[in-house]
Amino acid sequence: MRPSARIYLRLLIRYLRPQLGQALLLLFVLCANILLQLINPLIMRRLLDSALAGGPVELLTRLALMFIAIAVVQQTAAVGSTVLAENVGWRATNALRRDLARHCLRLDLSFHQQHTPGEMIERIDGDINAMARFFSQFVVQILGNIFLLIGVIVVLCREDLRVGAAIGLFVVITLIALLRLRNLAVPFWQRSREASARFFGFVEERLAGTEDIRASNARAFTLYRFHQLMRTFWQTTVRAELLGFSMINVAWLLFSVGNAVAFVVGASLFLSGALTIGTVYLIFHYTNLIAQPIQRIAQEFEQFQRAGAGVARVQELFETESRLAEAPAAAVGAASAAVGAASAAGGDRAGPAGALAVEFKQVRFSYPTDAPPEESSSEHERFALDGFQLRLEPHEVLGLLGRTGSGKTSLARLLLRLYDVDRGSVLVAGRDVRLWPLRRLRSQVGVVTQDVQLFAASIRDNLTFFDRSVPDVRIKEAIDELGLAPWYASLGESLDAPLQVGSGGLSAGEAQLVAFTRIFLRDPGVIVLDEASSRLDPATDAYLESAVDRLLTDRTGILIAHRLSTVQRADRILILESGRIREQGDRNALASDPSSRYHHLLKLGEQELET
């Protein structure tokens, strides 16, 4: 896809408007540079003619000093324009990176399951890097160098109309040739950028799985795939480079022809006595000077082709829409009112939300075919959930059991609205989650999974998710309330100490305690613990038990578990099988009913302990 001129113009206006002052200053400096380049050859022409005519030394000295001073100012202006251009380019591209990253973070989960983190880094950073020169110099350099060409032709026409006409014709032919070639390499640069994204996506995945690759003795295959992707990246880039440099080669060829024309015309006019040696120098110098703007225009168009590939891919990302439509503005106030009502009903409580009711009404849900879920339904079942019906009252705790693939995790994803249901509805505080603002909904539903993401940042930032508005006192109170003070003391450092990640950092169990503290600081009205205790070591499990009790106090809870001990604090038990409810009821009643599945599971657990 070749971006239209409208897309380029829209990007320029959007990201250069905040820097209008800098852009105008850049244009002014560039115009001053152009003017000085036109003036100095005129001074040199007069110096040569005066010297050959035996002019006074004072005049020659004054002209020479003027030439040197203008040259110094012109070089200073050139350096200044380069610095300004880089500043403008970096600010524009950083703003574009911010907007593109924000847009991608708002996309639904199915999009991110189709694209690896490495690929997204290359698309958000690498593609935009290719556009830096487009923002910083393209328009200014194109306009500035066209002005320089016009200025040269005007001066030459004033000296001799025949020379000016010949050079003007040469310039027009050259620019037409460059315009015809301007989009030649864009498709090839797009393929190069795509190959780059695939390569870096592969590298990111393999680096993350280094231990598994070594343990499985898969290094040879990994290196083979690395070589394949790198070779494809290299081949596509070479083709794009060759076609891109064809513009510069054409410009140099035409420039050589222009030099020959200027030399022949100047020599013939000098020999006929129509021009002085100073004027011949002027013509030849201006013809050489023309090579600079033509070369720069060719370089800008070559960079423009790279930018065109980046623009096309960036525009494609911007046009990608989330499958989760944001709630209409009218629904925002209603959702807030629902939370306020729930808070009032919940009694006197420190948190802002209070326990919230949760309801699933005849929910049918299947994962998008292009985004396979981590937890899929069985081979013979199309839906992850089918006809699911459930209501949890505020403060009620549900124990959710079932085999892997039964649909347990799907419930948590629908509650957070990471996906939308195919049929039916999911309600929080009596309000359909599709009518909640996503940010508000996810602040009221807290989820702790068995895989906790830790960041290479301070303990404070890991606990607060980089929310610097949370005071240290509140963080330490949360740690104390959850009964995690001994664990925090074992870290032996302050909240500002960096938290090590990876093999040298926290254990999987300790990472769960970090996740518990995060949820407690957010103070949601609904808590979902998705296999949160499955990876805890016995020492950390003691901290977990008190932390879970504190977390569930005055909140609605859903405990998703394989281990029966995890659901002993639940008020109600629900057993899922292939996306359908197979059993539900009061936990104590089911435990005492010999015919229930839950009773059978408890018996199996007792037999395993006895053996």
Residue 318: which of 18, 94, 88, 96 has the closest Cα? 96
What is the SS3 assignment for 140?
helix
Tens digits of per-residue pLDDT, 441-464? 988 998 888 778 888 788 888 888
Number of Cβ within 10 Å of residue 131's Cβ equals: 27
CA distance 180 to 251: 12
Tokens coding 467: 């929310």
Mean pLDDT over 375-381 rounds to: 44
Percentage above 70 pLDDT, the chain: 80
Q: CA-CA distance, 384 to 418, in Å (whole number)?
A: 14
Angle at 574 between CA 598 and CA 413, to 5 degrees: 140
The answer to whether the Cα torsion of 547, 550, 551, 557 is positive or negative is positive
pLDDT for residue 534: 56
As a whole number of angstroms, the distance between CA 1 and CA 310 comes to: 11
Inter-residue contact 197 to 119 (CB < 8 Å): yes
Distance CA 29, CA 20 (A): 14
CA–CA distances in Å: residue 139 to residues 9, 74, 185, 219: 10, 21, 19, 48
The pLDDT of residue 432 is: 92
Q: Between residues 75 and 190, which one has the greater pLDDT?
A: 75
Q: Interior CA angle at 221 toward 216 and 227, to 5°?
A: 145
**Residue 63 CB neighbour total at 10 angstroms:** 19
| 53-66 mean pLDDT | 84
Tens of pLDDT, residue by residue over 275-316, are 677 777 777 777 777 777 777 776 676 666 667 767 777 888
Token look-up 């610097």 returns 468
Does residue 428 surpass a pLDDT of 90?
yes
Domain 8-319: which CATH number of 1.10.8.100, 1.20.1560.10, 1.10.287.130, 3.40.50.970: 1.20.1560.10
Q: Tell me how far the alpha carbon of residue 150 is from its chain's centroid.
A: 42
Residue 330 confidence (pLDDT) above 60: no
Query: Which tokens sit at 487?
Result: 């664990």
pTM above 0.85, yes or no: no
By the 8 A CB rule, do 462 and 468 touch?
Answer: no
- pLDDT averaged over the chain? 78
How far is residue 370's CA from residue 368's CA, in Å, rounded to a whole number? 5
For domain 337-610, the CATH architecture is 3-Layer(aba) Sandwich (3.40)
Give me the half-sphere count of Cα atoms (radius 13 Å) on the Cβ side of residue 440: 24
User: Are 8-319 and 337-610 the same fold in CATH?
Assistant: no
How do beta strands 572-577 and 580-586 pair?
Answer: antiparallel
Tell whether the model's pLDDT for residue 347 goes beyond 70.
no
Averaged pLDDT, 412-430: 90
> DSSP string spanning 394-442?
TT-EEEEEE-TTSSHHHHHHHHTTSS--SEEEEEETTEEGGGS-HHHHH
Q: Would you kindly state where each structural domain of the chain is located, as residue ranges?
A: 8-319, 337-610
Distance CA 595, CA 572 (A): 17
Put residue 523 in one of left, alpha, beta given phi > 0 → left and psi -120 to 50 → alpha: left
**Owner of token pair 């339904």:** 377
